[in-house]
Chains A and B, each alone.
Chain A
């Protein structure tokens, strides 16, 4: 009997075996490479975190530097109350704020907000992880504060799929370094956050907004607005905690 590649039976057999074969190859490759991929991601996370306090680390040095600079770790609830302080610093990174952010069924009260305390050149800094939404997908980052919990020391941002050359520029140094020295509380001590301003930040030092604006990104308005919202949403929670610790002092 001649082989007929267009018979119904062969079509089915071909389709099914192709699915099984391809699925096997992909699953096999994934489980082989999974450890490497996970390691790369967590190292990248540490590098980003450290770059918020202006420490230039690399994937290879990430774990060592993380141990060196990160002195402590606190978990807050959505009201800014301390619910936990762990000494195990790496477990802090395992609080998956991205997953928490995506999970729409999770109530605000049940979310956990990690806060890192870093020590560099005898000064203490707070490092706040951020998560928000850009134009095409999630954006995230870390922002660090001086001990007053008001003045920004440094920031680092990243994104999953913003447009290269436009929204994707938020991960570039020129954008990140604008944040240094800005404040999240206004003159009266109320929470004001920092806005990524379309058309450019005010250059008038007398203006109330002088310490609360950075230049937006041309052609990346929606990503810029995403950064503004991300800062506002996340920092409003942490600023409550900062205020309380400030009062206690």
Chain B
């Protein structure tokens, strides 16, 4: 029997990674980039978009090649696919969106080391057809992206008093302007990203008890 394009099974490929199978909060993958680029929302957003592109293309290419990739060198093949895509994204950004490319600087290159991508290629695309692989890539990249944005929101808001670079906390509130408010400098340091991710996991698990492991 052939699945329709948006059968229940296919829809779950997109919706699962949002919550129950979220790559960051449930599978605890890609934590390092969640630490590095969540100080400001804008960087988190561009990173999330780049991951969406690389993830979808990578998943589709590996899925197309799944019947010819020799299994002994499959990890290397996946690595080459991801690295080549990342270099392409980097070149295109540099040529056509130079300002964007400057903002992202080193992090485009770091997409290669994002274990979510390798994880999905290995666990899903290698054994599934093109369309489900596309959906799986999209779902996981967005699942990754929204956590990134959520963490960046709290860190930028509480750490710098801004959202997307626009000042939200009025100058008059700050101590320097005679007010009572101070930015929390701890928020812009990497450890706070882990704590914010931890809080998100806490909220998520108290809502969805199935995620709690028994000991």
**A residues bordering B, Cβ < 8 Å?**
5-6, 10-11, 14-15, 18-19, 22, 25-26, 29-30, 33, 36-37, 40-41, 44, 59, 136-137, 159-161, 163-166, 168, 218-219
Contact = CB atoms under 8 A, between A and B. Distances in A.
Given A6-B71, A10-B70, A22-B84, A165 B94 contact: no
B106 A37 contact: no
Nearest to A11: B70
Which of A10, A15, A160 has the most C-beta atoms of chain B within 10 angstroms of its own C-beta?
Answer: A15
Contacts of B203: none
A33 B189 CA distance: 37
Interface in B84-113: 84, 87-88, 91-92, 94-96, 98, 102, 105-106
A166 B43 CA distance: 13
A142 to B, nearest CB: 16
Contacts of B71: 5-6
B: contact size bracket: 20 to 34
Contacts of A37: 91, 94-95
A18 B188 contact: no
Interface string B65-85: 001111111001100100010
Which of A10, A164, A218 has the most C-beta atoms of chain B within 10 angstroms of its own C-beta?
Answer: A164
Interface string B41-59: 0010000000000000000
Contacts of A136: 106
Interface of B: 36-37, 39-40, 43, 67-73, 76-77, 80, 84, 87-88, 91-92, 94-96, 98, 102, 105-106, 159-160, 185, 188-189
Contacts of B87: 26
Contacts of A26: 84, 87-88
B188 A5 contact: no
A136 B105 CA distance: 12
Nearest to B77: A18
